[in-house]
Amino acid sequence: MKRILAVPFMFAIVLAVLTVALDAVSASGNGGTISLGAAGGSGSARNVAVVTGAATDPWSGYNIHIATAVGGELTLNSITDANGSLLAGGPICLDSEPSAGQRILGCVEIGATRASIVTAGQLAVFTFNTTGNGCLVVNLITVPGDRTTDTYTIDRATSLPQTNVVDTTPMNILVGTGQNNDCPSGVEATNTPTNTDKSTTTRTLTSTPTNAPTAPSTTNATNATNTPASGSGGTISLGAVGGGGNARTIEVVTGAATDPWSGYNIHIATTAGGGLTLNSITDLNGPLLTATPSPLCFGSTPSDGQRILGCATIGDGRASIAAAGQLAVFTFNTTGDGCLVMNLINAPGNQTTDTYTIDRTTSLPQTNVVDTTSKTILVGTGQEGDCPAPVKATNTPTKAAASTAAASAAGNAKQPDVTALPSTATSSGGNRTLYFVGVAAVLIVALAGAIGWRRWRR
């Protein structure tokens, strides 16, 4: 993503693409047929393009959910993604990994000048990084009505998922000395390409691909480009601590903004000390961004101990917020006793991994002061000496902290945990989120401006 806000994403945007509600969502407009396209890459890094046919109604973004299976002695280490050549106007992207062997990428353009696409072409490219020899099986996933995990294009007029025919036919690729009988699905693959009709149930690929897909450098889900800020937002910082036991929470708040915003992207990092183990981080949109329509959100895990959450309202009726208040609440699920240290991350110019609010007028990141001062929480019988950083901590959250956490939980009870896409496999390397995408992706920021989400990440 990566630019996945997309909302940061992110995508997944997104992104993913990517999104807030797992509720059923009505489709809007008719998009093209989405299918796997050309295979490319070589050696242990093979890639597959995802393409769309011509659409009846124009679209300005997409959410793609891809799944894999491996056989023989092949091991899948990671999946990376890049926005393709069709959506080339500088989309916001977000990606996520809902489970091992799966990837969601959401990308979307936002604002009044967002893309209006009806032509056929390449949506994205997914790269599968492997070791060993065997067979890789790739297919698209559909979950009609679920913006987070479905595969679709985003209608330009309504910013809702379009109705798409999605070809879920699996594609088999032999890697190294892999043989046909290594393929989990039992569908034969060959190292010698044949002209197989797309309507058949088996796709045969070559280990030496032709027409290898490429992605524009301006919108790469893995390597986000620097993006100028637009408008002046408030100071973003860690707020009150809450929760109890091995499920402690912290809110992220913003000060008053000079220019109104309609979404945000938050990147938080944690470190555990003593006998404390951090098992997962979940997140929840706060009370500030509660406009109608509800915000689209996407969460991703760029690396161990980190979480990115992007949420945004979209369309002409999107929120216009300048007031101070709570953006989100993060919950740290732990086992054991010790000290938890948390801080915000900023990466100026990178929509995927930076912390910022989204300008309502331009849908670009605002200029925000981000307070990266760490906060610590003692868990169980943890002592201050367990803290990785020499910051004072207390076992007793203040009343403000407890009430804030409670208010957040109550006020957002109907907003699904946008991190509901479990990132059981993190992307290789550093931080990635498409913001959007997912997360995935889904499309958060992506959908923010218009990612779902992600990146959604290294």
Q: pLDDT tens digits for 181-226?
A: 999 864 444 332 222 233 333 333 333 333 333 332 222 222 333 4
- pLDDT, position 361: 87
The confidence band for 91, taking pLDDT boundaries of 50, 70 and 90, is confident
- pLDDT, position 26: 54
Most confident region among 105-114, 137-146, 249-258, 308-317 by mean pLDDT? 249-258
- pLDDT, position 140: 96
pTM: 0.52
Task: Decide: residue 33, CB within 10 A, 0-12 exposed, 13-18 middle, 19+ buried.
Answer: middle
146-155, 172-181, 295-304, 352-361: least confident range? 295-304
89-93, 102-106, 187-191, 372-376: least confident range? 187-191
- pLDDT, position 293: 64
The confidence band for 349, taking pLDDT boundaries of 50, 70 and 90, is confident
Whether pLDDT at 317 is above 50: yes
Domain ranges for the chain, please list them: 236-419
- pLDDT, position 224: 32
Nearest to 380 by CA among 332, 343, 331, 334: 334
Rounded percentage of the chain residues whose pLDDT exceeds 70: 68
- pLDDT, position 116: 94
Rounded Cα distance, 458 and 451, in Å: 18
203 CA to centre of own chain: 29
Rounded Cα distance, 29 and 52, in Å: 15
Give the list of residues 6+ apart from residue 424 with CB closer than 8 angstroms, or none: 97, 99, 100
List phi, psi (to 5°) of 180: -55, -40
- pLDDT, position 18: 35
DSSP reduced 3-state for 369: coil
- pLDDT, position 364: 85
Q: pLDDT tens digits for 432-447?
A: 223 333 333 233 333 4
- Mean residue pLDDT across the chain: 74
- pLDDT, position 185: 66
The confidence band for 53, taking pLDDT boundaries of 50, 70 and 90, is very high
8 Å CB contact between 409 and 282: no
Q: pLDDT tens digits for 357-405?
A: 999 888 889 999 999 999 999 999 999 889 986 443 433 333 333 223 3
Does the domain at 236-419 match CATH 2.70.70.10? Answer given as no
